[in-house]
Amino acid sequence: MTAAEVELLFQRLERIQRRINHHAGDGHTWRCTFPEGDTTTYVLIGVKGPDEVEDQIREKLAWWWNTKDYVKKLAKSVGQSPQAIEDMVNNDPRLAICADLANSQNRGGLDRTHKARSGTNPVLSPVIYRAGTVDAAIRSITFSPGGVVAVVVDPDKTEFVVPLRNDAGVVIDEALDLLAYAVSVWENVFNRFQGSGA
């Protein structure tokens, strides 16, 4: 295992992040039925849909988790314990959540044979869009008997938030913030190993 191989993985993670940061897309349509029985259609035009956002988050999560194995091999090549990397994940609550998310998506969910490192079974919640008209993120909002249509003029001023929830449905973190943190931990470990002569 070479430092150059690990560096290629970090470049891949950066490319995925650039795709996540690009918010333009075909938009999204969804329906909501209220307790009284009325159904309203909502249309958001100009940003990528929640499925695409989730796909990109899951892709980055998978590559983050794959990078762990490379970092472990790199640790061994510089005389460090690969187990120290696993211990780092187990002892950091945010890394443990990331690990559980990665393992659950690879295995169709966590089960008794694969104990949750974080002590919970974290799941991605639906994407939340945040945009305003003050900074020109939204060009127009139209209300009609058929529903509500919002046209986004500057998709990159629209914020995506993807809450992570535990078994009880309580928000425990936010996916994009968590992944940024998790990648930065690997980068710090890699830089430390670089200083060791990797």
Are the CB atoms for 25 and 47 separated by under 8 Å?
yes
Nearest Cα neighbor of 82 from 90, 95, 74, 72 is 72
Chain centroid to CA 83: 25
SS3 state of residue 198: coil
SS3 state of residue 142: strand
Average pLDDT of the chain is: 88
How many other CB atoms sit within 10 Å of the CB of residue 43? Answer: 15
| Per-residue model confidence (pLDDT) at position 133 | 62
**More confidently predicted of 149 and 116:** 149
* pLDDT level of residue 127 (50, 70, 90 thresholds): very high
Q: How many domains would you assign to the chain?
A: 1
Predicted confidence (pLDDT) at residue 38 exceeds the cutoff of 90: no
| Crossing angle of helices 93-107 and 50-77, rounded to 10° | 110
Predicted confidence (pLDDT) at residue 164 exceeds the cutoff of 90: yes
Q: What is the extent of the structural domain holding 154?
A: 3-195
